A = this chain, B = another copy of it.
């Protein structure tokens, strides 16, 4: 293991300016107890040499890295991309860097990835963790400061989440109002907590309307998953389908097209999330708008408070807004 050649350090500057390293440190940190004239000279020397303090060394001694970590289940999912973007923009505005970790839907690695990422940073945003309730409850305290996105997480941890129960309720009710009585729901990963919320909304629909039949199909979270479910969906003879998210819904639409099933004439399809491209799909997809990048910003704000030792932010739930587009229509009679 060859050690890299050493670089310009604080002593070099100190020596050149004829002062002690301590003084250079004070100047670089804007400590006002330094003689103005001396400070000027040091600053000049530093500029001349192109010196700036090694962030690693500072991190070690100060115990803070000015960096946070964001753990997402899948970087290919537009929802998490948006959340990441929201976090990244606002964190960088506050002078923080962002480390990103993609678990790739591998539940088994969530824990270690989060732990590892957390150790190199000052705090963590855990997005939609897929692990079991017990594991999460045990893990979170070891991760503080941490905030959780799109999953509920007890009372000690700030939560920023979309209310998927309400979202699915609105979408399902919209379909019911259009006359659909046989509705299929393409469920996401069982492990996903938001999937449970969605299921609850379906239960409620069943309770409220005894003339409706809701069929749940195990599917997945990706475009491919949605496309792959097409035959099962057709077999149910449902007149409407709701995707776990827009990706699944869009995949299904594509699959239906390949089977020459028309959307929305033969079957209505709706998604959840309202990803940026839902509106440009063919046909434009009915969905429920989740304010993802704002949620990212709030996640950062909550984490920032924690990092600064301020009181934890309360859990925040965002109610998605139903966005009716052309992929849903009256049920065929």
Contacts and interface: CB of A to CB of B under 8 A. Distances in A.
A1 B88 contact: no
A235 interface: no
Which of the listed residues A56, A85, A283 has the most CB atoms from chain B within 10 Å of its own CB? A56
Nearest to A1: B62
A89 interface: yes
A144 to B, nearest CB: 12
Contacts of A81: 75, 81
Contacts of A60: 56-57, 60
Given A75-B81, A98-B100, A254 B282 contact: no
A160 interface: no
Interface in A55-75: 55-57, 59-60, 62-65, 67, 75
Contact of A281 (B54, B85, B282): B282
B281 A55 contact: no
A63 B2 CA distance: 10
B88 A75 contact: yes
Q: How many copies does the complex hold?
A: 2
A288 interface: no
A84 interface: yes
A49 interface: no
A59 B62 contact: no
Interface string A1-29: 11110000000000000000000000000
30 contacts: A1-B62, A2-B309, A3-B62, A52-B119, A56-B59, A56-B60, A57-B60, A60-B60, A65-B120, A75-B84, A75-B85, A76-B85, A81-B81, A85-B102, A88-B101, A97-B116, A97-B117, A98-B99, A98-B101, A99-B100, A100-B100, A223-B276, A250-B277, A250-B280, A254-B279, A254-B280, A280-B280, A281-B281, A281-B282, A282-B284
Interface of A: 1-4, 52, 54-57, 59-60, 62-65, 67, 75-76, 81-82, 84-85, 88-89, 92, 97-102, 104, 116-117, 119-120, 223, 250, 253-254, 276-277, 279-284, 309
Nearest 10 CB-CB pairings of A with B: A282-B282, A277-B277, A4-B63, A75-B85, A280-B281, A56-B60, A55-B120, A100-B100, A81-B81, A88-B102
